[in-house]
Chain A
Amino acid sequence: MEGQTVEKMKAEADVLEIVDTKIDMAKYVDAVRDPGAGAISTFIGTTRNTFQNKEVVELQYEAYKPMAILELKKICASARSRWSLVGIAIAHRLGTVPTSEESVFIAVSSVHRKESLDACQFLIDELKARVPIWKKEVYSNGEVWKENVEFVQRTQVCKEEFYQIYDAESKLRNWQFSI
């Protein structure tokens, strides 16, 4: 019983934020720092400047905020059920993120390093699969909403018909597929 209370307290201390400004990485590392933790593992997602030889001018992120936070909590609970962890902190930035800047940051601490390293990978994979956050790549000659392979695999809703190309009012609408 006491162990469960401690676990619950740790989970409640998880720092999960969706922010509009540059991510303060040190803040989230400090949030998971603990005298009992021998390791802190981190993941930083940064914005790439090219896609298929096209220059990406900027990236824009949009989120369904309340649900994104709830999904992040579920992901953390899932990680904690798999590994013994001390602290978790996740931050995702919205709005315009210039290239090479951080769009997502994850920090996980654990007593020994294996748990935090494994959990860190799990957390970013789950985030890409479940959390309702969308990214738009803006090029010099257009823009496209990019989304995650893992998301459609997980929800199993996307159908092949989605990829049809059709003419509508003399316009050709095409889909950009992510690599």
Chain B
Amino acid sequence: MATRALFYFYIRRLRVHAMQELLAGVGIAVAVALVFAVTVANSSVANSARDVVHAVIGPADLQLHARSPDGFDEHLLARVERLPGVLHAAPLLEQTATVVAPNGRRATVNIAGTNISLALLDGLAESLPLGALSPGGIGLSKTSASELGLPAFNPQKRRVEILLKLRGRATAMKVSAVLGHETAGALAQARIAVMPLGRLQQLAGLKGHVTRILVQSKPGAETSVRGELKALAGGRLTVARADQDISLLDAALRPSNQASALFAGLSALLGFLFAFNAVLLTVPERRAAIADLRLDGTSRAAIVQMIIFQALCLGIGASVVGVLLGDVLSSGVFHQTPGYLTKAFTLGTSTVVGVAPVLIALGGGVLATCLASLFPLQDLRRGRALDAVLSDSGPASATSIGARRWLAVTTTGLFLLATALFVLMPSAALVACVVLALGTMLAVPLVLAAVLAAAEGLAARNEHLTALPLALSSLKATSTRSLALAATGAVALFGSVALGSSRDDLLRGIDGYTGHYAGSADVWLVNPGDNQAINDFSRGEYAERASRIAGVASVHTFQGSFLDFGSRRLWVIAWPPTIPAALLNEQVIRGDRASAFASLREGGAITISDQVASEHHVAVGDMLSLPTPAGDIAYRVAATTTNFGWTPGAVVMSTADYSHAWSSNTPSAVGVDLTTSGSAEAVRRAIARELGPASGLEVLTSTAREATIDRSASEGLGQLGAIATLLLIAAILAMAAALGSSIWQRRASLAELRLEGASRRRLQLVLLLESAVMLSAGCLTGAAVGVYGQLIIDAYLKHVTGFPVAGVATGKRPIEIFALVVITVLALVSIPGWSASGVPARLALDE
């Protein structure tokens, strides 16, 4: 067939069925947008962090890294520089601090103290403004500045003073530079600040200390320099590739990436099913068009060409719109980087979009459209041109007993397959969920038939229900459409319930842990925003001062820091032996909680995240050697645990063991227990008064601390939430588009009812009943199977990613989602429904 003719037929189709084509297009676009946004979200964080790390290290290839936040002696720099294979070396002191702007806004930043040698090393010396490293000031990256609500300004002309809270001390200082992209490259989009090395050492109380030395070795000398550095490190410092942070970050992101990959993958596949169903809705009229063409004697080849051409037009057009929509979504919804990771890594904030998401989204959208468009071609195969004109027995109709039996057998088979996968391979959760989703779709015709039969019985028994039989007849008259619609609902609910509820379980799991953790003291003293208590106080006397306040019964010091272990940046939690390790409640995976706590108290023992233990092939009772600042020390593994919400994994030990290995007694958190008469809020205020603003510490009641930790944890899992929400929105939109399209298609048959004198009210009622029957049949199926999907995803999150996950609650979540979807969709389609009910009777005569 000539291209001109193809265009002619498509334009003719558009003229006649503009609305259906538009609504199918909307369905596809929504689906593609979902696919695109979730795929982008999944790859952004790691990509932008990579840029930042490379901007910091420049051409450096090796580094000497402190194992404790206190760093090591800076005199080592001179010895490193003297090594024969070393070209350049630059010192770096890194601390996490909170900056408070004059307007009261605050931001957590990674603050780097360095000198001009780093700028020379990474090539920023030329562009970096002189002020950035000027004494007495602080240079903020553009992202940090804008997070503080500081607009771009010229520090030479305007003086802006901020408050820097660092290691239990608050200091006022002026902003000496704002580092934009033109001066600092990729660093501009990271949450960082810079100041001269000496100044930061003084502020942090770490005179003469650095945490890192970046080394650029001479060409070919890398191996020898590494050896020499190892000798200098003496087992107390880490020698690693300069870009080691990237692989550490990758490891940190892996579990949440695995989780969001599962969420994203499932959402994407469900998106394709939406697109598929959206096109399926237009099948009846496509079949009629094909039949007409065949009556005119058009050849089969020409018809096939035409169908494919039209599918490509629709698929490509809608998918392009979908990608654009998805781009808007991904920058709007997924823009924020996981804030909880900024404490351990320097992260970028930009969204980096690769080619892959575009290709996946476009290709998937077009493919789904083409596949669904092929259904009408079965009429060609049967060779009965008139069949489609006379009947609407669509491809998905399940009227015959044989078809039903086939569906029942296949559905059961799919559910069994999903169960087998679930039991035998929890890591194949995505496959299991997709199998479940397919099973759900195939179950829909059976459920719909059952619901129709039940409704018919109801209508036959109850003579007052006069609109119901009318609704039922029109449902029967449009079986393909009804099925496509119910299937959309089923897929939508399946996904929304499974993802939404699993995320709830995950958040409840984390909440359970934070409740036990924060509840271990009545009032807490920590560095601002330091939820994990990994930043030391520079001075230790705060605990003692707090203990003198009236109403305080006892004071416990907690310690902690990050420790790079293999490819993981572990969270080390040092627990005082004086109070029960309540944080282990519900978190122990292997081993016994009570005896684990006893071992911790005795010393020489740790608990470690199950993932890490199995990576190093250690079981409970085995010894595991950790690279502590005091060198490698072997500890007995008393139990394995979840990751406490910290994706790379966590280690719990007693403060005694910690103090020994880190050779430090300074707390990173102080927990205060009250006497029975003390009120937490009163004591909190008294302690805050006693410490004064200069301490820079935050004094929180246990409930307040729990809330801040929960907030940051859910932020870290924000992607999952965003994906679940996005899926829900896409589901609602896809269903509204599908239902709108089917109501639009119903106009002709509504006109027939009007021809017989049906009132507008009655038509609205009929439409409402029809929609409600289809939606509830589909959505109930979806919600029910969704709960099963939730189980599978929970198991995946717990055993594969190591997150703490609360048991599946037989909660009201599925019911909530069901009600939300059904009510929203019905409300959304009430407008097309209302307008369709006003269809003039003449429409029926004009056909």
A associates with B: no
